[in-house]
Each structure stands twice: as structure tokens, then as C-alpha cells.
Structure 1
């Protein structure tokens, strides 16, 4: 059985709610829903593009802590409070994943945990085994 590696961001909510920012088991990494919060404050208030960029920076850091990278991401899920901002969110997503091109889902939700949060993103990554694999 593979070891479970956990990533914590030190958020006080992690222990209260009972979650980790990311978990790696074997070559699979799951990153929890991530928002643009830093030290209890929203980063990029009112700006979906800036929030998305900040979220992806946090995700990139979490992946790095378990030995993965953005190139290992195979799926993203984006939860947005205003789907009309899809282009700004998509632009930031594309800056990180233009070459990787993971499968992606973007859905509008009624609200997130803080009304100033516009975007929440979770990802799944599968780390390469080290062998050369043919692209389909």
C-alpha cells in the first residue's frame, strides 16, 4: 500500500473541517478546492482573473511539495460565482495549462464560503512513471 503524503497550508480550518490542501498516494495527487485567501483576507477582490492566478499559484506550490508539477495535472474543476466572467478565469487557467491541456470543468455556483470569493479550483494530477509514453 502506498504512503499517504499530505500537504497543509496551515489554515486553521484544515483541522476544524478535517481536510488537507493536497494528498498524494502513489503517483496520484488530489488538490482540494482552493480559493484566493491569504491570512484570512481575499486576494484580488472583485477580480476573477487575479483570484484565479493566485489560486493556481497555491495549487502549484501544493503539487511541488509532493514532487508533482502543473504538467502532471489531468483534471481541473472550477467553481465560479458568475459564469459571465468565464473569459477572465479561462485566460488565467490557459496561462498555466496552455500546453498541458487537462480536462476541465467550469460551473457556476450560488456562492462560496466568503461572498468576495469568485472562484474555487480543485485539481487531480497523475505523476509520470518515468517511462516514455506515447501520446494518443
Structure 2
């Protein structure tokens, strides 16, 4: 049963037809989130900065949903270039080092050439 839909204010949500996060009875499902700073509608050219912004965006969605980063149980990383993953490890460890969710890294093209990483998570309530 869907309890709530969360929006980040991204224009992509309306154009494509999705929610940043969906809350059901037990979980918060956060969509693939990129490194856009939605307040400024900018994106860094640096993959590490994009990873940090992804996680800040995810943190905000989880807070809005009544959850938190500490309740993440699953994370998927999607990167167009596998070589960009290892430089992100320190920031990923900063956010996930104590949580240690189940994780998968996928190499795939993203919707915009400026996007260097996309992260999606599932968290408990």
C-alpha cells in the first residue's frame, strides 16, 4: 500500500512521470538519484562531487519520507564509466561505512551526458 510520494522538485519527475521516493507500509524506495543540485539546477563535472550530491539528495528524500540514511538496507550504483567508481569510494564509505547496506554497481549509460553517477536506495521506515 502506497502511503506517500516524495518529490525533489526536479523537472525530470514531471517530464518522465516518477517520484523521487515512494513510501509503502515498510520501506522507502528512492529512485535513481543523480548529482544535480536541485536548488541551483547545476551539476558538477566531478564524479566525486556528483556522488556526494546524490547522497545529499537521497538523505533529503529519506528525511521527507520519515526515514534516514541509517535505515538504508539496499543501494545500487549506476555509472557509465567503471573507472569512475573507485574515486567515489571515500565519499561512499563516509555515508555507508557504518550502515553497510547490500550493494550493487552497474555500468550503464545515463539519461544525460553530464551525469556520471546515479544512486538508488531502499530504506526501512
Cα shift at 1:3: 4.8
2:105 aligned residue: 106
2:116 aligned residue: 118
Larger mean Cα displacement after TM superposition, 58-67 or 82-91: 82-91
1:55 aligned residue: 54
Determine the C-alpha separation between the residues in 1 that align with 2:107 and 2:75: 14
TM-score scaled by length of structure 2: 0.91
Cα shift at 1:15: 1.9
- The ranges of structure 1 where at least 4 consecutive aligned residues each deviate by more than 4 angstroms after the TM superposition are none
Cα shift at 1:40: 3.8
Can you list the C-alpha shifts for 1:30-51, whole angstroms capped at 9, x where unaligned?
0001001234432x21x21111
Determine the C-alpha separation between the residues in 1 that align with 2:30 and 2:2: 16
Give unmatched runs, 5+ long, in structure 2. Answer: none
Can you list the C-alpha shifts for 1:49-80, whole angstroms capped at 9, x where unaligned?
11101100000000000110011100000001
1:64 aligned residue: 63
For the residue of structure 2 that corresponds to 1:92, the secondary structure is helix
1:91 aligned residue: 90
Cα shift at 1:16: 2.3
TM-score scaled by length of structure 1: 0.84
Contact 2:6–2:19 (Cα < 8 Å) also in 1 = yes
Determine the C-alpha separation between the residues in 2 that align with 1:3 and 1:82: 35
Count of residue pairs brought into register by the alignment: 123
Contact 2:2–2:22 (Cα < 8 Å) also in 1 = no
For the residue of structure 2 that corresponds to 1:117, the secondary structure is coil
1:14 aligned residue: 13
RMSD, matched Cα: 1.3
